[in-house]
Structure 1
Amino acid sequence: MTTEHDGVRDLLAAWAFGALDPADRRTVPLHLAECESCAAEAQRLREAVRLLDGPASNGPGRRPAAGILSGALRTRPAAPRVAPHAAPYAAAVAGLKALLPEIEGRWSTPVVHDWDVHATLAHLLAADEHLARLLALDTRLPLSRIPHDTDWGEAWNARTAEVIAHEYGRTPEETVADWAAQADELLTAPEALDPEPAARVVTLTGVRLPVADHYVVRAFEAWIHTDDIGRALGLAVPPPPEAHLWQLVHLAVRILGLALGRDAAPVLFSVTGGEQWVLGSQDDPVRAELTLDPVDFCLLVGGRHTPDEVPRGTSGDEDAAQNVLDQASRLAWL
């Protein structure tokens, strides 16, 4: 079950924006008075909001990005209370819902790949559908015509294309309503509320992981595409709250380690402000050291940084470090 500490950490972004629900306005300050780590994170988030809400604007006639998100967060429904493994997805869904009022009338704005905003929401609807079907949830999309033995990467892209074509025959508001309803069902499923059923290991997106980890994958994608939309509209989307960001980092490192295998030249990989891991061979001396910022690492894994442009610190064998960066970028399917 979710502890009070976990529950408060999930509410810190709303606290920073002054967007807590009335029921939480007493609980959160009381916890902050007793918990040093939550208090430090809360202060960091509030300072970030203060800076973003300053005099800089996003262009003539545009409100500051944080001011937009602050107002949206004050009117959004509260994120559901879920188990810790589903909390990043709940927060990412709430973040995209908070951005929706700014999208009105701008659905055809180009975003990423060859998608506009409408198509990007349709892609998220299609992407979440894979987990929804696996959990035996009702979905709102026509059945796929893709053969079951299709390679997962080809099937992923083909299903996105099917769904985008289908959603272009509907209004953007209808697409958003179905995406939001499907996300809400994922967040009220037993697997989102209880770690025990979420421990079941299943294969999605070409990787075999517990259902709990697949919720973190969904959080990763929802945040990346929310950031894509924000950039396209000239709005700054904040990174996930620190606790959620580290859940994304830890999962990405685990998958990266599996992808590199035990024959790769060993590299000591560090994420700024966090942990370090030896990736590659565990039997040979470390050949290189590589350090990335956690957000930059996630953007690399998400395909939004290239191996050559991502800011990094390196020492030792450049080829060994480059191999880790190249492999990380090849994990991207977003």
Structure 2
Amino acid sequence: MTTDHEAVRELLGAWAVGALMPGDERTLAPHLADCDPCAAEAARLRAVVRDLDGPPVTAGPLPAERGLSLALRTRPAASRTASHAAPYAAAVAGLQALLGEMDEHGPWGTPVVHDWDVHDTVAHLLAADEPLAVRLGLRVAGEFDGVDGASWREAWAARTEEVLARERGRAPAGTVASWQAQAKALLSSPEAHDPELAGRATTLMGARLPLTDHFLVRAFEAWVHTEDIGRALDLPVPPPRTPHLWQLVRLAVRILGLALGSGTPAVALTVAGEGGEASWILGEGAEPVSAELVLDPVDFCRLMGGRVDPSVVARGISGDESAATRVLTRAASLAWL
């Protein structure tokens, strides 16, 4: 059952990316009046939007509560994203909120992951969103071709380095603004609102998937790197909302199943935790199951994102341990984040 806090958190994410419908204020306003944590989160998201987009139109300074209400009324209305794009909208809002904890002189140089600092990690996300933006016609053809083909990893790495080199010459606020503008363009695209239009398959980053899944890939990467930044800055980052988390789990299972192919001994994978439990047969489905593997949904997503070692991830295994370990190792090897 969705709680009031979960419902409001989803609305705040939509509001932060300009996707709040006018009627949703009737849900927001009463809750924010009685809930200090949600009101604080709303104020922080409002500050992020104000800093990156410019202040809402007002006649002068207002108290936080009144300013938030006015921002909700005057911000341009937009229809909500479809379910396949909602996890990405929430992930974008989550990173905006986290970056809102920093100012111009904040710890942008803090090491995060690979050889990137906080500034670099945002620049990486700017580059990571480019292939989908190009495919949707939001970027000029030829700026970036989407790194299709057998050498997509090499082309991807080269493009990432180009963007990092460029963005290191800019102020962090400029990089954040560019990332946010591109993310908003993706979330404003017809494909983010029309599941039928987003149902067509296209090859990006070496994977031929429906555009619906490519939006989920963007959500997956944005969340993983938000966690990276939060860990580096010692700031808590919650996992995706339960419905979004399970969308990412199902995507990860599909990708892992394709990567394992039919020549792998069959393993029953069960993902169980917040939001329920689901099972799949991976590998050679015609053979008897050689092992059963149980993982938590967040741990499974972190494994697929390359953020937990397959040898130490919390799991339950019965049957052929080597077959189950092969699945874990293959899952971790798929990460390019």
TM-score by length of 1: 0.80
Matched, 1:284 2:316: no
Structure 2 portions without partners, runs of 5+: 50-71, 73-77
Once residues 148 and 252 of structure 1 are traced to their aligned partners in structure 2, the CA distance between those partners, rounded to angstroms, is 20
SS in 1 for 2:100: helix
Q: Which residue of 1 aligns with 2:88?
A: 89
Q: Find the counterpart in structure 2 of residue 58 from structure 1.
A: none
SS in 1 for 2:203: strand
Match of 1:324 in 2: 327
Tell me the CA shift for residue 106 of structure 1: 1.1
Partner of 2:128: 127
Verify: 1:72 aligned to 2:71, yes or no: no
**Aligned AA (1:330):** S
Deviations 1:186-226 (A, max 9, x none): 00001001112101100011110001100000000000001
For residues 294 and 146 of structure 1, do their structure 2 counterparts lie closer, same or farther at Cα, with a shift above 3 Å needed? closer
Q: Does 1:308 align with 2:311?
A: yes
Aligned to 1:185: 185
User: Within 2, Cα distance between the matches of 1:9 and 1:202?
Assistant: 37
Q: CA deviation at 1:144?
A: 5.2
Question: Which shows bigger deviation, 267-276 or 292-301?
Answer: 267-276
- Backbone CA RMSD of aligned residues: 3.3
Deviates most, 314-323 or 103-112: 103-112
CA distance in 2, matches of 1:169, 1:119: 11
**In the alignment, structure 1 residue 169 sits paired with structure 2 residue 169:** yes
Compute the displacement of 1:145 (Å). Answer: 10
Shift of 1:295: 0.3
Change (3 A) 1:80 1:98: farther
| Contact 1:14–1:73 (8 Å) recurs in 2 | no
- Separation in structure 2 between the aligned mates of residue 111 and residue 327 of structure 1, nearest angstrom: 25
Secondary structure class of the residue paired with 2:269 = strand
Task: State whether residues 195 and 212 of structure 2, in contact with CA within 8 Å, keep that contact through their aligned partners in structure 1.
Answer: yes
Cα contact 1:301–1:329 (8 A) shared by 2: yes
Number of aligned pairs? 296
Partners of 1:295 and 1:285 in 2: how far apart? Answer: 28
Report the Cα offset of residue 27 of structure 1: 4.2
SS in 2 for 1:315: strand
- Percent identical among aligned pairs is 56
Tell me the SS of whatever aligns to 1:103. coil
CA distance in 1, matches of 2:169, 2:308: 33
Q: Tell me how far apart the structure 2 counterparts of residues 260 and 290 of structure 1 sit (CA, whole Å).
A: 15
Select between 317-326 and 99-108 the one with higher mean Cα deviation: 99-108
Q: 1:300 & 1:85 partners in 2: Cα distance?
A: 22
Q: Assess if the C-alpha contact under 8 Å between 2:220 and 2:248 holds in 1.
A: yes
For the pair 1:294 / 2:297, whether they are aligned, the reply is: yes
Q: Match for residue 109 of structure 1? A: 110
| Distance change in 2, residues 1:197/1:222 (3 Å) | same
SS of residue in 1 equivalent to 2:112: strand
Residues 250-269 of structure 1 mapped to structure 2, 5 A cutoff: 250-269=250-269
| Alignment match, 1:218 | 218
SS at match of 1:85: coil
Shift of 1:155: 1.1
Counterpart CA distance in 2 for 1:169 and 1:87 is 33
Deviation at 1:240, TM superposition (A): 0.4
Shift of 1:143: 3.3
Distance 2:319 2:327 in 1: 13
CA distance in 2, matches of 1:153, 1:125: 17
> Structure 2 length as normaliser, TM-score?
0.79
| Paired residue secondary structure (1:84) | coil
Following the alignment from structure 1 to structure 2, what is the Cα–Cα distance between the partners of residues 187 and 109?
29
CA distance in 2, matches of 1:108, 1:180: 20
Q: Which residue of 1 aligns with 2:68?
A: none
Alignment-mate amino acid for residue 116 of structure 2? W
2:98 match: secondary structure: helix
Residue 132 of structure 1 aligns to a residue whose secondary structure is helix
**What amino acid does structure 2 have at the position aligned with 1:294?**
P
Please list the CA deviations of residues 83-141 of structure 1 after superposition, one character each: whole Å capped at 9, or x if unmatched.
110000000001111111213211101000000001000000000011000111036x9
Cα shift readout 1:253-300 (whole Å, capped 9, x = no counterpart) = 001001001111111100013210010111111111000000000000
2:205 corresponds in structure 1 to: 205
**Conserved 8 A contact 2:131-2:146:** no
